[in-house]
C-alpha cells in the first residue's frame, strides 16, 4: 500500500514541477510573415514576342560556333537547339560527352525558349528558396546553360548546353546565342 501511495505522490510531484516549468516558459514567437511578392511591376517581365522559328541552316551556324568554343576549351558538351515551341531542331553530343546531359541540354534549350529567359534565372530563384519553380513545368531545368535565341527583338528558339559545370555550359551556349541579333 505504501508503494502505491509513494508512486502517486511521486507522480503528483512530477506533474506539479512540470506545470510550473510550462507556466514559466516564454510565449512562442509568432510565425514569420510570408515573403513579399515584390510588388506589381508596371510592365510584364520577359515580354519578348515570339517570331518565326529558327531554321536548320541558322541552327547549324550556331551549333558550329558553340562546338568550336567547346573544342577550344577541351570541354565535352551536349548542345541542343530548339524552335519557339521548344521542339528539337538540331542536337549534337560531342565525343565523350556525358550521356545524362543529352536530356538536360534539350530541357535547358526548351526552358529558355518557352519561358523567354535564361535558365540561370530559374537556378537563382531556386537557390534563394523559391521552390515553387519546380512546379511550373515538369521539363523546366533550373540550371545555367540555356539561352533564348532573340532575333530582331523576337524569340526564334533556344540553345541549351550540358556536360560541364553550369557556368561552363553557359559559356558555350552564350557563344551560339550571341550570333543571333
- The domain ranges of the chain are 56-177
CA dihedral 60, 65, 69, 70 (to 10 degrees): -10
Digit-coded pLDDT (tens) for 29-51 = 666 655 566 667 778 878 898 99
More confident residue, 134 or 37: 134
CATH class assigned to 56-177: alpha beta
pTM, to two decimals: 0.77
Q: How far apart are CA 179 and CA 102, in angstroms?
A: 23
pLDDT for the residue numbered 180 = 95
Q: How far apart are CA 92 and CA 59, in angstroms?
A: 11
| Residues paired with 78 in a beta bridge | 93, 162
Cα of first residue to Cα of last residue in the chain, in angstroms, is 95
Lowest model confidence (mean pLDDT) among 1-5, 29-33, 70-74: 1-5
Which residues neighbour 69 within 8 Å (Cβ) at sequence distance 6 or greater?
171, 172, 175
Give 16's pLDDT tier (boundaries 50, 70, 90). Answer: low
Amino acid at each position: 500500500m505504501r508503494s502505491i501511495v509513494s508512486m502517486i505522490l511521486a507522480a503528483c510531484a512530477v506533474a506539479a514541477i512540470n506545470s510550473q516549468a510550462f507556466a514559466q516558459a516564454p510565449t512562442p514567437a509568432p510565425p514569420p510573415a510570408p515573403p513579399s511578392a515584390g510588388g506589381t511591376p508596371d510592365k510584364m517581365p520577359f515580354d519578348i514576342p515570339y517570331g518565326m522559328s529558327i531554321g536548320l541552316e541558322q541552327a547549324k551556324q550556331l551549333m558550329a560556333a558553340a562546338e568550336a568554343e567547346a573544342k577550344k576549351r577541351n570541354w565535352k558538351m551536349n548542345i541542343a537547339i530548339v524552335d519557339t515551341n521548344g521542339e528539337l531542331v538540331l542536337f549534337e553530343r560531342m565525343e565523350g560527352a556525358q550521356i545524362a546531359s543529352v536530356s538536360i541540354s534539350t530541357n535547358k534549350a526548351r526552358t529558355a525558349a518557352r519561358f523567354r529567359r535564361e535558365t540561370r534565372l530559374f537556378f537563382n530563384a531556386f537557390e534563394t528558396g523559391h521552390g515553387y519553380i519546380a512546379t511550373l513545368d515538369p521539363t523546366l531545368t533550373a540550371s545555367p546553360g540555356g539561352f533564348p535565341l532573340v532575333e530582331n527583338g523576337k524569340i526564334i528558339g533556344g540553345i541549351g548546353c550540358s556536360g560541364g559545370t553550369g557556368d561552363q555550359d553557359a559559356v558555350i551556349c552564350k557563344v551560339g546565342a550571341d550570333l543571333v541579333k
